[in-house]
Amino acid sequence: MSTIASLEKLTLQVRRDILRMVHSVNSGHPGGSLGCAELFVVLYNRILDLSNVFDMDGKNEDLFFLSNGHISPVFYSVLARKGYFPIDELNTFRKLNSRLQGHPTTHEKLPGVRIASGSLGQGISVAIGSALSKKLNNDHNLIYVLVGDGELQEGQNWEAIMFASANNIDNLILCVDLNGKQIDGSTSEVLPMGNLKIKFEAFGWKVIEVENGNNLESIIKNFNYAKKETKKKSPICLLIKTEMGNGVDFMMNTHEWHGVAPNDEQLKIALSQNPETLGDY
Amino acid sequence: MKKFNYTELKDTRSGFGDGLTELGRKNKNIVALCADLTGSLKMNQFKKENPNRFFQVGIAEANMMGIAAGLTIGGKIPFTGTFANFSTGRVYDQIRQSIAYSGKNVKICASHAGLTLGEDGATHQILEDIGLMKMLPGMTVINTCDYNQTKIATIAIAEHQGPVYLRFGRPKVPNFTSPDHKFKIGKGIILNEGKDVTIVATGHLVWESILAGEKLKNFGISSEIINIHTIKPIDEEIILKSINKTRCIVTAEEHNFLGGLGESISRILTKNDPVPQEFIATNDTFGESGSPSKLMDKYGLNSNAIVNAVEKVLSRK
């Protein structure tokens, strides 16, 4: 099992990957990607029960779905560093003929990706479908899905949230990236969503609040708790507070870096705050 | 000229329901989803026989499409059931991203297509769905003509790997195809050979084309009638072979002429062998309330309209 020290090293390297990827094509979404670095590092290295070889059907392993596909940089970096595809391929992000599209897709057959996402609000439905498939197959592994908090403004989510509890989808762990920000500003400015905990509970979900979603130990502890709460008739929702742009001082506490790439000078400063640990791609 | 008879009027949606029931018995990976229209889609028997493989999603079609996409991961073959309007326009983005672009093996089964939905009116009578679905890369689009063909098609699409849109209707119509006729996705069926004009029809208009053919015969006009059940991929060969002989064509469908079967045929003609074409289709309009037969008469989707179109196209030869 990976130690906290090794996960810390990996997180630093993932942040560097994210920054360098979006900088090299002057496009992409660094803010949410940086905010979820710890979450992805923990999921793929401490929580998910994964097969050694990627297979679309993913039988007898845990599956992860990314609904807010725009944070593809963190997904790609963590997948590559887990060995799903060559780390050098990060260099092709958003370029012509790449498997690393701006938003993740199965179309180019990139290992680790099981659904296209980007148009928001569709991931929970897909995760429910694969959770049902697991039940039909007597497969006891779990389904994980990540959505952004702003993404919950899409109505399809609430169809899915209603369905999951009504149908006892209890092999599903939904992670909400609660960074409180979206493109146009804070979620409370754009469209306040009220008390999400109460809303999820009213829809029949078991809710676990994660106060520090950028703390490795806190995420591990809460995921392990969530796992123990599965198979008890209710779907599980983790409301995970994260800081958009985490790890780069000038990208934090603002929504401005949601979908903007750093320039050369900004990249230099950002990288100096996140020293190389496992080797750049 | 071959004579077509039928012994009963039967709805195409029952062909879907019976085909699905048969599939459920022989393939345990078949699952079905419905958005609160189980009776309308004739999915009751499948539900009764396979309660664990039937998912009632409620009035939530977007969620249904997403769940169907997810069910394929793990090897299930999901069949979704709702009206054509709610199977396409309402959930276009869900189909586009989670099913078509993701290459998922989902069978989107759509009843109550077109004007023959009848009295519910234009909000429910989609005439744009063939266009919407044929535009999606990788999507197979099928529009069946009667009960038997719908049943056979339902069974056939389970064997096809990839997303499929299967379109059928509400009313009882002549059940004239053989219950064991050869159905191959992408292959048209010549119902009658002829030399003066080619009539290519899909869905409910196939029977009207047969009726038109009989009327035309009385005027001494020999028509070649082709049942095109698969609009995408379309059978170019059968069309080109036929027009090589007849040198003119009429296309007939219960759909807007924009985006429908007729346009797909026009493209084949323009690229390969331009000949005059007339369109039996709705003319860029919404429908309205009325009985199915009165609607088809008003919007010019019947055998008389086909006969008139044939006379027109013959004059353009």
* R_g of chain B computed on alpha carbons: 19
Q: Among A114, A120, A29, A11, which Cα is nearest to A64's?
A: A114
For residue A21, what pLDDT is reported? 98
Percent of the residues in chain B that have a pLDDT greater than 70, as a whole number: 100
Asked if the Cβ–Cβ distance from A106 to B62 is below 8 Å, we say no
What is d(CA A216, CA B238) in angstroms, rounded to the nearest whole number? 64
Rounded to an integer, the average pLDDT of B80-105 is 98
Domain B10-174 adopts which CATH fold? Rossmann fold (3.40.50)
Rounded to an integer, the average pLDDT of B7-35 is 98
ipTM over the 0.90 cut-off: yes
**Residue B282: pLDDT band with limits 50, 70, 90:** very high
pTM passes above 0.80 = yes
Asked if the Cβ–Cβ distance from A136 to B65 is below 8 Å, we say no
What is d(CA B145, CA B34) in angstroms, rounded to the nearest whole number? 23
A178-237 pLDDT per residue, tens: 999 999 999 999 999 999 999 999 999 999 999 999 999 999 999 999 999 999 999 999
- Residue A1, pLDDT above cutoff 80: no
Domain count, chain A: 1
**Residue B36: pLDDT band with limits 50, 70, 90:** very high
Of A56, A58, A115, the CB nearest to B98: A115
What is d(CA B266, CA B303) in angstroms, rounded to the nearest whole number? 21
The domain that contains A53 carries what CATH number? Answer: 3.40.50.970
Q: How far is CA A195 from CA A35, A37, A201, B40, B86, in A?
A: 21, 25, 10, 39, 32
CB A87 within 8 A of CB A80: yes
Q: Which two tokens stand for residue A240?
A: 């995970």
Q: Which strands, in side-by-side order, build the sheet including B223-227?
A: B189-192, B223-227, B197-201, B249-256, B277-282
Mean pLDDT of chain B: 98
Domain edges within chain B: 10-174, 189-315
Rounded to an integer, the average pLDDT of B83-108 is 98
B159-198 pLDDT per residue, tens: 999 999 999 999 999 999 999 998 999 999 999 999 999 9
Asked if the Cβ–Cβ distance from B69 to A159 is below 8 Å, we say no
CA B115, B223, B141, B177 torsion: positive or negative?
Answer: positive
For residue A188, what pLDDT is reported? 96
Q: What are phi and psi of B238, to 5 degrees?
A: -65, -35
Query: Which of A54, A55, A59, A122 is the best substitution to test chain B (most B C-beta atoms within 10 A)?
Result: A122
**Residue B39: pLDDT band with limits 50, 70, 90:** very high
CB A205 within 8 A of CB A237: yes
A83-138 pLDDT per residue, tens: 999 999 999 999 999 999 999 999 999 999 999 999 999 999 999 999 999 999 99
Question: What is the rounded (10 degree) CA torsion for B189, B194, B199, B200?
Answer: 20
**Residue B1: pLDDT band with limits 50, 70, 90:** confident
Percent of the residues in chain B that have a pLDDT greater than 90, as a whole number: 98
DSSP B252-272: EEEEESTTSHHHHHHHHHHHH
Alpha-helical runs (H) found in A92-154: 123-136
Between vectors from CA B128 to CA B123 and to CA B129, what angle results, nearest 5°? 100
Rounded to an integer, the average pLDDT of B31-58 is 98
What residues in B contact A114, CB-CB < 8 Å? 73
Asked if the Cβ–Cβ distance from A115 to B69 is below 8 Å, we say yes
Q: Do domains B10-174 and B189-315 have the same CATH topology?
A: yes
Domain B189-315 adopts which CATH fold? Rossmann fold (3.40.50)
For residue B100, the distance in angstroms to the closest alpha carbon of chain A comes to 10
Domain span at A169? 4-272
- Residue A164, pLDDT above cutoff 90: yes
DSSP label at residue A203: T
What is d(CA A178, CA A258) in angstroms, rounded to the nearest whole number? 14
What is d(CA A158, CA A162) in angstroms, rounded to the nearest whole number? 6
Residues 6+ away with beta carbon under 8 Å from A5: none
Rounded to an integer, the average pLDDT of B220-237 is 98
Q: Say if B70 is an interface residue toward chain A (CB within 8 Å).
A: yes
What residues in A contact B65, CB-CB < 8 Å? 125
SS3 assignment, position B47: helix
**Residue A2: pLDDT band with limits 50, 70, 90:** confident
Peptide bond into B233 cis (omega under 30): yes
Asked if the Cβ–Cβ distance from A163 to B57 is below 8 Å, we say yes
- Residue B270, pLDDT above cutoff 80: yes
Of A127, A137, A159, the CB nearest to B74: A137
Of B74, B78, B98, the CB nearest to A116: B98
Rounded to an integer, the average pLDDT of B272-285 is 98
A65-81 pLDDT per residue, tens: 999 999 999 999 999 99
